[in-house]
Amino acid sequence: LPIYPSSILSLFTRSLSSSSSMAPQEAETTVAQKKNYGSSSIDEAPPRKNRVTVVGSGNWGSVAAKLIASNTIRLPSFHDEVRMWVFEETLPSGEKLTDAINTKNENVKYLPGIKLGRNVVADPDLVNAVTGANMLVFVTPHQFMEGICKRLVGKINGDVEAISLIKGMEVKMEGPCMISTLITEQLGINCCVLMGANIANEIAVEKFSEATVGYRENKEMAEKWVQLFSTSYFIVTPVQDVEGVELCGTLKNVVAIAAGFVDGLDMGNNTKAAIMRIGLREMKAFSKMLFSSVKDSTFFESCGVADLITTCLGGRNRKVAEAFAKNGGKRSFDELEAEMLQGQKLQGVSTAKEVYEVLSHRGWLQFFPLFATVHEICIGTLPPSAIVEHSERTPK
Ligand SMILES: NC(=O)c1ccc[n+]([C@@H]2O[C@H](COP(=O)([O-])OP(=O)(O)OC[C@H]3O[C@@H](n4cnc5c(N)ncnc54)[C@H](O)[C@@H]3O)[C@@H](O)[C@H]2O)c1
Ligand SMILES: O=P(O)(O)OC[C@H](O)CO
Protein backbone atom coordinates (compact mmCIF):
# COMPACT_ATOMS: atom_id res chain seq x y z
CA LEU A 1 0.00 0.00 0.00
CA PRO A 2 1.25 3.51 -0.66
CA ILE A 3 1.99 5.54 2.44
CA TYR A 4 0.05 8.78 2.31
CA PRO A 5 1.53 11.91 3.85
CA SER A 6 -1.03 11.94 6.67
CA SER A 7 -0.05 8.38 7.62
CA ILE A 8 3.52 9.35 8.36
CA LEU A 9 2.93 10.86 11.77
CA SER A 10 0.63 8.10 12.98
CA LEU A 11 3.20 5.46 11.99
CA PHE A 12 5.86 7.47 13.75
CA THR A 13 3.70 7.93 16.83
CA ARG A 14 2.96 4.21 17.00
CA SER A 15 6.60 3.25 16.65
CA LEU A 16 7.61 5.76 19.30
CA SER A 17 4.96 4.76 21.78
CA SER A 18 5.70 1.05 21.40
CA SER A 19 9.38 1.63 22.08
CA SER A 20 8.72 3.93 25.04
CA SER A 21 7.95 2.66 28.51
CA MET A 22 4.94 4.97 28.60
CA ALA A 23 2.09 4.72 26.13
CA PRO A 24 0.40 7.93 25.03
CA GLN A 25 -3.30 8.50 25.47
CA GLU A 26 -5.39 5.33 25.26
CA ALA A 27 -8.12 6.89 23.18
CA GLU A 28 -10.53 3.98 23.18
CA THR A 29 -10.96 3.73 26.94
CA THR A 30 -13.80 5.82 28.31
CA VAL A 31 -13.38 8.25 31.19
CA ALA A 32 -15.86 6.18 33.22
CA GLN A 33 -13.77 3.02 32.73
CA LYS A 34 -10.60 4.91 33.59
CA LYS A 35 -12.06 6.37 36.75
CA ASN A 36 -13.52 3.01 37.93
CA TYR A 37 -12.19 1.98 41.33
CA GLY A 38 -14.59 -0.98 41.66
CA SER A 39 -11.84 -3.56 41.26
CA SER A 40 -9.93 -2.76 44.47
CA SER A 41 -10.72 -4.88 47.53
CA ILE A 42 -12.67 -3.25 50.37
CA ASP A 43 -9.87 -3.57 52.93
CA GLU A 44 -7.37 -1.84 50.64
CA ALA A 45 -7.11 1.92 51.20
CA PRO A 46 -7.50 3.63 47.83
CA PRO A 47 -4.21 5.15 46.72
CA ARG A 48 -3.88 8.88 47.28
CA LYS A 49 -4.89 10.70 44.15
CA ASN A 50 -2.53 13.29 42.73
CA ARG A 51 -3.61 16.91 42.62
CA VAL A 52 -2.07 19.16 39.99
CA THR A 53 -1.67 22.93 40.00
CA VAL A 54 -0.27 24.87 37.07
CA VAL A 55 1.57 27.98 38.23
CA GLY A 56 1.24 30.32 35.27
CA SER A 57 -1.41 31.03 32.66
CA GLY A 58 0.28 32.68 29.72
CA ASN A 59 0.33 31.30 26.19
CA TRP A 60 2.18 28.04 27.00
CA GLY A 61 0.84 27.89 30.55
CA SER A 62 -2.72 27.74 29.20
CA VAL A 63 -1.85 25.04 26.67
CA ALA A 64 -0.08 23.05 29.40
CA ALA A 65 -3.22 23.27 31.55
CA LYS A 66 -5.30 22.02 28.61
CA LEU A 67 -2.98 19.05 27.98
CA ILE A 68 -2.90 18.13 31.65
CA ALA A 69 -6.66 18.52 32.12
CA SER A 70 -7.32 16.15 29.21
CA ASN A 71 -5.32 13.54 31.11
CA THR A 72 -6.38 14.09 34.74
CA ILE A 73 -9.98 13.56 33.70
CA ARG A 74 -9.25 10.10 32.30
CA LEU A 75 -6.50 8.82 34.60
CA PRO A 76 -7.72 7.26 37.87
CA SER A 77 -4.66 8.29 39.85
CA PHE A 78 -5.40 12.00 39.41
CA HIS A 79 -8.08 14.33 40.70
CA ASP A 80 -9.99 15.69 37.74
CA GLU A 81 -9.59 19.32 38.74
CA VAL A 82 -6.51 21.22 37.57
CA ARG A 83 -5.93 24.54 39.27
CA MET A 84 -4.24 27.25 37.28
CA TRP A 85 -2.73 30.27 39.00
CA VAL A 86 -3.43 33.50 37.14
CA PHE A 87 -1.39 36.68 37.53
CA GLU A 88 -4.52 38.78 37.79
CA GLU A 89 -5.22 41.60 35.39
CA THR A 90 -8.21 43.58 34.27
CA LEU A 91 -9.28 43.20 30.67
CA PRO A 92 -10.27 46.25 28.54
CA SER A 93 -13.92 45.20 29.15
CA GLY A 94 -13.38 45.75 32.89
CA GLU A 95 -13.70 42.03 33.60
CA LYS A 96 -11.00 40.23 35.63
CA LEU A 97 -8.98 37.76 33.56
CA THR A 98 -9.61 34.97 36.10
CA ASP A 99 -13.39 35.46 35.89
CA ALA A 100 -13.25 35.47 32.11
CA ILE A 101 -11.27 32.20 32.09
CA ASN A 102 -13.67 30.50 34.49
CA THR A 103 -16.78 31.74 32.72
CA LYS A 104 -15.69 31.07 29.15
CA ASN A 105 -13.33 28.16 29.87
CA GLU A 106 -10.87 30.02 27.71
CA ASN A 107 -7.88 32.26 28.34
CA VAL A 108 -9.27 35.12 26.29
CA LYS A 109 -6.05 37.13 26.50
CA TYR A 110 -3.22 34.61 26.12
CA LEU A 111 -4.88 31.73 24.25
CA PRO A 112 -8.08 33.01 22.67
CA GLY A 113 -10.39 30.60 20.89
CA ILE A 114 -9.23 27.45 22.70
CA LYS A 115 -11.32 25.64 25.33
CA LEU A 116 -9.14 24.57 28.23
CA GLY A 117 -11.38 21.81 29.58
CA ARG A 118 -14.08 22.33 32.19
CA ASN A 119 -11.86 20.80 34.87
CA VAL A 120 -9.42 23.72 34.66
CA VAL A 121 -10.12 26.20 37.46
CA ALA A 122 -8.38 29.57 37.37
CA ASP A 123 -7.35 31.07 40.71
CA PRO A 124 -5.69 34.49 41.22
CA ASP A 125 -4.50 33.60 44.75
CA LEU A 126 -1.09 31.96 44.40
CA VAL A 127 -0.98 30.32 47.81
CA ASN A 128 -4.55 29.10 47.57
CA ALA A 129 -3.88 27.71 44.09
CA VAL A 130 -1.00 25.51 45.27
CA THR A 131 -2.56 24.43 48.58
CA GLY A 132 -3.37 20.72 48.54
CA ALA A 133 -1.54 20.06 45.28
CA ASN A 134 1.22 17.46 45.31
CA MET A 135 2.29 18.07 41.69
CA LEU A 136 3.22 21.62 40.69
CA VAL A 137 3.82 22.66 37.10
CA PHE A 138 5.75 25.94 36.87
CA VAL A 139 5.26 27.78 33.58
CA THR A 140 5.73 31.54 33.77
CA PRO A 141 8.20 33.83 31.99
CA HIS A 142 11.48 33.16 33.79
CA GLN A 143 11.97 36.71 35.04
CA PHE A 144 9.01 36.34 37.44
CA MET A 145 10.06 33.08 39.06
CA GLU A 146 12.26 34.47 41.79
CA GLY A 147 9.36 36.60 43.09
CA ILE A 148 6.92 33.69 42.79
CA CYS A 149 9.25 31.37 44.71
CA LYS A 150 9.67 33.97 47.48
CA ARG A 151 5.90 34.11 47.91
CA LEU A 152 5.74 30.32 48.16
CA VAL A 153 8.54 29.80 50.69
CA GLY A 154 7.19 27.87 53.68
CA LYS A 155 3.89 27.17 51.92
CA ILE A 156 4.84 23.91 50.17
CA ASN A 157 5.37 20.48 51.75
CA GLY A 158 8.69 18.76 51.10
CA ASP A 159 6.97 15.76 49.47
CA VAL A 160 5.48 17.89 46.69
CA GLU A 161 6.99 17.25 43.24
CA ALA A 162 7.55 19.98 40.68
CA ILE A 163 8.28 20.31 37.00
CA SER A 164 9.45 23.46 35.24
CA LEU A 165 8.41 24.27 31.67
CA ILE A 166 10.26 27.58 31.93
CA LYS A 167 12.97 28.36 29.40
CA GLY A 168 15.45 30.68 31.11
CA MET A 169 17.88 31.07 33.96
CA GLU A 170 18.90 33.46 36.72
CA VAL A 171 22.39 34.79 37.25
CA LYS A 172 23.38 35.27 40.88
CA MET A 173 26.58 36.37 42.63
CA GLU A 174 27.56 32.71 42.93
CA GLY A 175 26.99 32.11 39.22
CA PRO A 176 24.21 30.85 36.94
CA CYS A 177 21.16 29.23 38.50
CA MET A 178 18.77 27.19 36.40
CA ILE A 179 15.07 27.73 37.17
CA SER A 180 14.63 24.11 38.31
CA THR A 181 17.47 24.68 40.80
CA LEU A 182 15.89 27.92 41.98
CA ILE A 183 12.65 26.02 42.66
CA THR A 184 14.48 23.22 44.47
CA GLU A 185 16.62 25.57 46.54
CA GLN A 186 13.88 28.03 47.47
CA LEU A 187 11.05 25.58 48.05
CA GLY A 188 12.95 22.45 49.11
CA ILE A 189 11.27 20.22 46.51
CA ASN A 190 12.46 18.07 43.60
CA CYS A 191 12.05 19.58 40.18
CA CYS A 192 12.08 17.93 36.76
CA VAL A 193 11.90 19.93 33.52
CA LEU A 194 9.89 19.64 30.31
CA MET A 195 11.25 21.32 27.19
CA GLY A 196 10.86 20.72 23.48
CA ALA A 197 9.90 21.98 20.05
CA ASN A 198 6.66 23.33 21.41
CA ILE A 199 5.21 26.47 19.89
CA ALA A 200 2.16 26.72 22.12
CA ASN A 201 -0.38 27.85 19.52
CA GLU A 202 0.34 24.76 17.41
CA ILE A 203 -0.10 22.35 20.31
CA ALA A 204 -3.27 24.20 21.31
CA VAL A 205 -4.85 23.04 18.04
CA GLU A 206 -3.48 19.55 18.60
CA LYS A 207 -0.83 19.43 15.89
CA PHE A 208 1.66 16.61 16.42
CA SER A 209 4.78 17.45 18.38
CA GLU A 210 7.30 16.01 20.83
CA ALA A 211 8.82 17.06 24.13
CA THR A 212 11.54 15.92 26.51
CA VAL A 213 11.27 15.48 30.27
CA GLY A 214 14.62 15.92 32.01
CA TYR A 215 15.02 14.22 35.37
CA ARG A 216 17.82 13.75 37.87
CA GLU A 217 17.47 10.31 39.50
CA ASN A 218 13.83 9.48 40.08
CA LYS A 219 12.79 7.67 36.89
CA GLU A 220 9.42 6.74 38.40
CA MET A 221 8.59 10.40 38.94
CA ALA A 222 9.72 11.24 35.41
CA GLU A 223 7.31 8.59 34.14
CA LYS A 224 4.50 10.16 36.14
CA TRP A 225 5.18 13.51 34.46
CA VAL A 226 5.33 11.82 31.07
CA GLN A 227 1.94 10.22 31.78
CA LEU A 228 0.47 13.56 32.85
CA PHE A 229 1.52 15.36 29.65
CA SER A 230 1.38 12.68 26.94
CA THR A 231 -1.44 12.63 24.43
CA SER A 232 -1.78 11.10 20.99
CA TYR A 233 -0.45 14.35 19.49
CA PHE A 234 2.10 15.19 22.20
CA ILE A 235 4.81 12.56 22.59
CA VAL A 236 7.00 12.94 25.65
CA THR A 237 10.31 11.16 26.21
CA PRO A 238 12.20 11.06 29.54
CA VAL A 239 15.93 11.76 29.59
CA GLN A 240 18.21 11.57 32.63
CA ASP A 241 19.87 14.95 32.12
CA VAL A 242 17.99 17.75 33.79
CA GLU A 243 20.68 20.39 33.19
CA GLY A 244 21.16 19.43 29.53
CA VAL A 245 17.43 19.55 28.78
CA GLU A 246 16.93 22.85 30.62
CA LEU A 247 19.98 24.52 29.06
CA CYS A 248 18.81 23.50 25.57
CA GLY A 249 15.43 25.16 26.21
CA THR A 250 17.09 28.24 27.67
CA LEU A 251 19.90 28.83 25.18
CA LYS A 252 17.91 28.23 22.00
CA ASN A 253 16.12 31.53 22.72
CA VAL A 254 19.41 33.40 22.22
CA VAL A 255 19.96 31.65 18.87
CA ALA A 256 16.36 32.51 17.92
CA ILE A 257 17.15 36.20 18.37
CA ALA A 258 20.16 35.76 16.05
CA ALA A 259 17.93 33.99 13.49
CA GLY A 260 15.48 36.90 13.68
CA PHE A 261 18.27 39.38 12.89
CA VAL A 262 19.18 37.29 9.84
CA ASP A 263 15.56 37.31 8.69
CA GLY A 264 15.19 41.04 9.32
CA LEU A 265 18.22 41.72 7.14
CA ASP A 266 16.98 39.34 4.39
CA MET A 267 20.18 37.32 4.54
CA GLY A 268 18.53 34.13 3.32
CA ASN A 269 18.25 30.50 4.34
CA ASN A 270 21.90 29.51 4.07
CA THR A 271 22.93 32.26 6.46
CA LYS A 272 20.16 31.30 8.85
CA ALA A 273 21.24 27.66 8.75
CA ALA A 274 24.83 28.73 9.45
CA ILE A 275 23.69 30.78 12.44
CA MET A 276 21.67 27.83 13.73
CA ARG A 277 24.67 25.50 13.37
CA ILE A 278 27.01 27.91 15.14
CA GLY A 279 24.33 28.50 17.76
CA LEU A 280 23.89 24.78 18.40
CA ARG A 281 27.64 24.40 18.79
CA GLU A 282 27.74 27.23 21.33
CA MET A 283 24.71 25.76 23.15
CA LYS A 284 26.50 22.46 23.52
CA ALA A 285 29.85 23.98 24.52
CA PHE A 286 28.28 26.34 27.08
CA SER A 287 26.15 23.58 28.62
CA LYS A 288 29.09 21.22 28.95
CA MET A 289 31.40 23.92 30.33
CA LEU A 290 28.80 24.67 33.01
CA PHE A 291 27.85 21.04 33.75
CA SER A 292 30.21 18.27 32.70
CA SER A 293 27.34 15.78 33.21
CA VAL A 294 25.41 17.13 30.18
CA LYS A 295 25.02 14.38 27.58
CA ASP A 296 25.68 14.79 23.83
CA SER A 297 22.56 12.72 23.07
CA THR A 298 20.32 15.34 24.75
CA PHE A 299 21.02 17.73 21.85
CA PHE A 300 19.33 15.24 19.49
CA GLU A 301 16.13 15.07 21.55
CA SER A 302 13.13 17.33 20.99
CA CYS A 303 14.54 19.78 23.56
CA GLY A 304 17.71 20.16 21.48
CA VAL A 305 17.93 20.42 17.74
CA ALA A 306 14.15 20.20 17.19
CA ASP A 307 13.39 23.12 19.49
CA LEU A 308 16.21 25.11 17.92
CA ILE A 309 14.68 24.59 14.47
CA THR A 310 11.10 25.42 15.40
CA THR A 311 12.08 28.48 17.39
CA CYS A 312 14.29 29.84 14.59
CA LEU A 313 11.45 29.31 12.11
CA GLY A 314 8.32 30.30 13.97
CA GLY A 315 8.93 31.57 17.50
CA ARG A 316 8.20 34.92 19.14
CA ASN A 317 11.88 35.68 19.84
CA ARG A 318 12.64 35.29 16.14
CA LYS A 319 9.68 37.43 15.14
CA VAL A 320 10.49 40.37 17.40
CA ALA A 321 14.22 40.20 16.58
CA GLU A 322 13.30 40.36 12.88
CA ALA A 323 11.35 43.58 13.51
CA PHE A 324 14.26 44.96 15.57
CA ALA A 325 16.68 44.38 12.68
CA LYS A 326 14.25 45.74 10.08
CA ASN A 327 14.09 48.94 12.14
CA GLY A 328 17.90 49.09 12.21
CA GLY A 329 17.89 48.64 16.00
CA LYS A 330 16.18 52.03 16.42
CA ARG A 331 13.13 50.67 18.27
CA SER A 332 13.85 48.87 21.52
CA PHE A 333 12.96 45.25 22.20
CA ASP A 334 10.71 46.37 25.08
CA GLU A 335 8.73 48.61 22.76
CA LEU A 336 8.45 45.98 20.02
CA GLU A 337 7.54 43.24 22.53
CA ALA A 338 4.71 45.32 23.97
CA GLU A 339 3.40 46.19 20.51
CA MET A 340 3.77 42.79 18.85
CA LEU A 341 3.08 40.31 21.67
CA GLN A 342 0.29 42.00 23.65
CA GLY A 343 1.40 40.90 27.09
CA GLN A 344 3.32 37.76 26.11
CA LYS A 345 6.98 37.91 27.10
CA LEU A 346 10.26 37.34 25.28
CA GLN A 347 12.90 35.26 27.02
CA GLY A 348 15.78 35.55 24.55
CA VAL A 349 16.87 39.15 25.19
CA SER A 350 17.20 38.74 28.97
CA THR A 351 18.74 35.29 28.53
CA ALA A 352 21.37 36.76 26.17
CA LYS A 353 22.21 39.28 28.93
CA GLU A 354 22.37 36.55 31.57
CA VAL A 355 24.59 34.37 29.37
CA TYR A 356 26.83 37.39 28.64
CA GLU A 357 27.26 38.00 32.38
CA VAL A 358 28.35 34.38 32.88
CA LEU A 359 30.73 34.57 29.91
CA SER A 360 32.38 37.81 31.05
CA HIS A 361 32.60 36.69 34.66
CA ARG A 362 34.30 33.43 33.68
CA GLY A 363 36.50 34.88 30.95
CA TRP A 364 34.77 32.81 28.26
CA LEU A 365 33.59 35.62 25.94
CA GLN A 366 36.03 34.76 23.15
CA PHE A 367 34.70 31.19 22.96
CA PHE A 368 31.09 32.29 22.36
CA PRO A 369 31.04 35.01 19.69
CA LEU A 370 27.44 34.35 18.64
CA PHE A 371 26.03 34.54 22.17
CA ALA A 372 28.13 37.64 22.93
CA THR A 373 27.18 39.36 19.66
CA VAL A 374 23.45 38.78 20.20
CA HIS A 375 23.63 40.60 23.53
CA GLU A 376 25.70 43.45 22.14
CA ILE A 377 23.22 43.94 19.30
CA CYS A 378 20.28 43.84 21.74
CA ILE A 379 21.80 46.63 23.85
CA GLY A 380 22.76 48.69 20.79
CA THR A 381 26.57 48.41 21.05
CA LEU A 382 26.67 46.63 17.68
CA PRO A 383 24.39 46.93 14.64
CA PRO A 384 22.19 43.92 13.66
CA SER A 385 24.49 43.19 10.68
CA ALA A 386 27.22 42.25 13.18
CA ILE A 387 25.45 38.94 13.64
CA VAL A 388 27.39 37.45 10.71
CA GLU A 389 30.47 39.65 10.89
CA HIS A 390 31.20 38.63 14.48
CA SER A 391 29.59 35.23 14.95
CA GLU A 392 31.60 33.58 12.17
CA ARG A 393 34.73 33.98 14.27
CA THR A 394 33.81 31.03 16.46
CA PRO A 395 37.06 29.31 17.47
CA LYS A 396 37.32 25.70 16.27
N1 LIG B 1 4.52 30.29 24.34
C2 LIG B 1 5.21 29.27 23.84
O3 LIG B 1 5.07 28.90 22.67
C4 LIG B 1 6.16 28.53 24.74
C5 LIG B 1 6.46 27.21 24.41
C6 LIG B 1 7.34 26.48 25.20
C7 LIG B 1 7.89 27.08 26.33
N8 LIG B 1 7.56 28.35 26.63
C9 LIG B 1 8.16 28.91 27.87
O10 LIG B 1 7.18 28.88 28.89
C11 LIG B 1 7.38 29.97 29.80
C12 LIG B 1 6.08 30.73 29.95
O13 LIG B 1 5.70 31.21 28.70
P14 LIG B 1 4.18 31.58 28.34
O15 LIG B 1 4.10 31.56 26.86
O16 LIG B 1 3.23 30.74 29.12
O17 LIG B 1 4.03 33.07 28.91
P18 LIG B 1 3.72 34.41 28.08
O19 LIG B 1 4.85 34.75 27.21
O20 LIG B 1 2.38 34.27 27.44
O21 LIG B 1 3.73 35.52 29.23
C22 LIG B 1 2.63 36.10 29.75
C23 LIG B 1 2.35 35.61 31.15
O24 LIG B 1 3.16 36.32 32.10
C25 LIG B 1 2.31 36.73 33.16
N26 LIG B 1 2.86 37.86 33.88
C27 LIG B 1 2.98 39.14 33.46
N28 LIG B 1 3.52 39.90 34.46
C29 LIG B 1 3.76 39.05 35.50
C30 LIG B 1 4.30 39.21 36.79
N31 LIG B 1 4.76 40.39 37.20
N32 LIG B 1 4.39 38.13 37.59
C33 LIG B 1 3.97 36.93 37.18
N34 LIG B 1 3.44 36.70 35.97
C35 LIG B 1 3.34 37.76 35.14
C36 LIG B 1 1.02 37.06 32.46
O37 LIG B 1 -0.02 37.12 33.39
C38 LIG B 1 0.90 35.87 31.52
O39 LIG B 1 0.36 34.77 32.20
C40 LIG B 1 8.54 30.78 29.21
O41 LIG B 1 9.74 30.43 29.85
C42 LIG B 1 8.60 30.35 27.76
O43 LIG B 1 9.91 30.43 27.21
C44 LIG B 1 6.71 29.09 25.89
O1 LIG C 1 7.95 31.79 20.86
P2 LIG C 1 9.28 31.60 21.55
O3 LIG C 1 10.40 32.19 20.79
O4 LIG C 1 9.20 32.02 23.00
O5 LIG C 1 9.53 30.01 21.53
C6 LIG C 1 8.48 29.18 21.89
C7 LIG C 1 8.94 27.81 22.28
O8 LIG C 1 9.97 27.86 23.23
C9 LIG C 1 9.34 26.94 21.12
O10 LIG C 1 9.53 25.63 21.58
- In this prediction the ipTM stands at 0.99
Pocket of ligand 1 (CB under 6 A): 56-61, 87, 110, 139-142, 144, 165-168, 198-200, 343-345, 347
Q: Give the Cβ contact number of residue 1 at 10 Å.
A: 4
Q: In whole angstroms, what is the distance from residue 250 CA to residue 214 CA?
A: 13
Q: Which ligand is nearest to the CA of 306?
A: 2
The pLDDT of 57-63, averaged and rounded, is: 98
Which ligand does the CA of 201 lie closest to?
Answer: 1
The count of residues in the chain is 396
Q: Percent of the chain at pLDDT above 90?
A: 84
Catalytic residue ranges: 252
- What secondary structure letter does DSSP report for 144? G
Q: Which atom of ligand 2 is nearest to the CA of 167?
A: 8
Read off the pTM.
0.92
Contact 343, 337 (CB under 8 A): no
C-alpha of residue 98 to centroid of ligand 1, in Å: 16
Closest ligand (CA of 59): 1
Q: Which residues line ligand 2 (CB under 6 A)?
A: 167, 197-199, 256, 307, 310-311, 315-317, 347
Q: Which of 59, 202, 253, 345 to mutate to test the pocket of ligand 2 (most atoms within 8 A of CB)?
A: 253
Residue 4 has pLDDT above 50, yes or no: no
Contact of 97 with 90, CB cutoff 8 Å? yes
Render pLDDT for 157-202 as a digit per residue (tens, 0 to 9). 989 999 999 999 999 877 899 999 999 999 999 999 999 999 999 9
pLDDT in tens, 143-154: 999 999 999 999
Identify the bridge partners of residue 249 per DSSP, sorted by sequence position: none
Rounded distance from Cα 386 to ligand 1 centre (Å): 29
Q: Residue 230 in contact with residue 351, Cβ under 8 Å? A: no
Residue 21 has pLDDT above 60, yes or no: no
- Choosing from 59, 137, 148, 183 the residue with most ligand 1 atoms within 8 A of its CB, the one to mutate for a pocket test is 59
